[in-house]
Chain A
Amino acid sequence: EPEVTQTPSHQVTQMGQEVILRCVPISNHLYFYWYRQILGQKVEFLVSFYNNEISEKSEIFDDQFSVERPDGSNFTLKIRSTKLEDSAMYFCASRRWRAYEQYFGPGTRLTVT
């Protein structure tokens, strides 16, 4: 069964550094998402992406964040200058055209020191 994959599984970075989290959505999916979960808290929506542009973003998704689909398979989340409070689990998700179910990847644990 096809699944969403994410790399790396765990990334440690220093405050102020740029990080790029990578996702490979399911191949025939057209809608892509990033969610975040701070340790011990619930999962929160960051951004959705369709047709090569952001379709919706939350108040968390400020100018430090950007998303890109650099080729036909990858979907990336970039954090320009990481802060301690960016430490969290980041999940990528995707869904098909005219379907509601979102399929989640295993997550990338980001630790900012």
Chain B
Amino acid sequence: GIQVEQSPPDLILQEGANSTLRCNFSDSVNNLQWFHQNPWGQLINLFYIPSGTKQNGRLSATTVATERYSLLYISSSQTTDSGVYFCAVPTSGSRLTFGEGTQLTVNP
């Protein structure tokens, strides 16, 4: 099945710094989603981005489907951005396969 790899696995930032998270996938996809899992364990939908670029406030995402990767940019990070960021792509049928996640810690 499709493989999803995220990097880096861990990232520690000072408040105000910018960061880029990467998601590589092994096959062509018609869907890619980014999620933020907050410290309470809730999964928050960030982006549905099968291709192109989207922006939402300080966050933006770009997917280059032909090269099988997606990037999540966080600018001017805040402590509330801390948590785990997952990307997910569909595999057989419509089930989503998640990456291992990037654990982001933003220090004040």
Chain A residues proximal to chain B, CB less than 8 Å: 31, 33, 35, 37, 42-45, 48, 55-56, 58, 89, 91, 93, 95, 100-104, 106-107, 109
Residues of B within 8 A of A101 (CB): 31, 33, 45, 48
Whether B48 and A56, one on each chain, are in contact in the complex, defined by CB atoms closer than 8 angstroms, is no
Whether A43 and B93, one on each chain, are in contact in the complex, defined by CB atoms closer than 8 angstroms, is no
In the complex, whether B64 has a CB less than 8 A from a CB of chain A is no
Count residues of B near A (Cβ-Cβ below 8 Å). Answer: 23
Q: Which of B41, B90, B94, B98 contacts A44 (CB 8 A)?
A: B98
Nearest CB in chain A: distance from B36 CB, A? 11
Residues of A within 8 A of B93 (CB): 48, 55-56
Residues of A within 8 A of B27 (CB): none
Nearest CB in chain A: distance from B55 CB, A? 17
Closest 3 CB pairs of A and B: A100-B31, A101-B48, A45-B95
Nearest CB in chain A: distance from B40 CB, A? 8
Chain B residues proximal to chain A, CB less than 8 Å: 30-31, 33, 35, 41-43, 45, 48, 50, 86, 88, 90, 92-101
Whether B41 and A107, one on each chain, are in contact in the complex, defined by CB atoms closer than 8 angstroms, is yes
